[in-house]
Amino acid sequence: MSVTAVPLRPIKKGALLTLWVGVGLAIAAAAGAAWYGTQSPALLNAATPEQFLAWNAKQDGVVTTGSGLQYKVLTAGTGGSPTDSDAVLVGYKGTLRDGTVFDENPQASFPVAGVVPGFSEALKLMKRGGKYRLWIPPALGYGDHAQGDAIPANSLLVFDVDLIDYKSIAEIQAEMERLRAQGALPSQGGMPPGGMPPGIQ
């Protein structure tokens, strides 16, 4: 019969139970953390917009504004930010939470005030050369109005947006008038080529 070099002391019954409860709690906590970490794709698809936004607000780098818009700065950009009196030139990709792309354009121009409120608010936070990821709650997007088959009612919209450039609408209009006077443009009004992107009006 072999004897250990350090005799093992018997563990009291209550202490053993406490030990196993502690081990069980540690395992449950680790499993819970692992489950939570792996459930984000399911959460993206199954949660309500409010549940998703509450979860997303805790993710690294995500900022929530007073209106409920959420954004993450991917590239900061430089200089000032556009205002409601400006028009922007952007590249963007719009998806639903499940990743379904409903609109995408590498270069679109439109007035800052001419898009859904959440998109407009985000543009006014961005700087030239910046890239943001946006999460636009239904109330700042299309609300309970479906947009054809592409965007169901009460959809949370996810955008990756590059702010390429912006100019004041007054400056653009003056330039267009100058070109019309020179005969380089037809005499009718309207936005420059590119117009309003269909997915963010």
Domain ranges of the chain: 12-46, 57-181
Q: Are residues 160 and 133 in contact, defined by beta-carbon separation less than 8 angstroms?
A: yes
pLDDT in tens, 70-117: 999 999 999 999 999 999 999 999 999 999 999 999 999 999 999 999
Interval 124-149: pLDDT, tens: 999 999 999 999 999 999 999 999 99
* Secondary structure element (H or E) that encloses residue 180, with its range: helix 169-181
- Tell me which of 128 and 201 has the higher pLDDT: 128
State the pairing for strand pair 62-64/101-111.
unpaired
Cut 0.85: pTM above it: no
Name 139's Cβ contacts closer than 8 Å, sequence gap at least 6.
68
Q: 163 and 125 in contact (C-beta within 8 Å)?
A: no
Right CATH for 57-181 from 3.40.50.720, 1.10.1520.10, 1.10.3080.10, 3.10.50.40 = 3.10.50.40
* Structure token pair of residue 126: 């961005």
Model pLDDT for residues 4-52, shown as the tens digit of each residue: 444 444 555 555 455 454 545 545 544 444 444 445 566 567 899 999 9
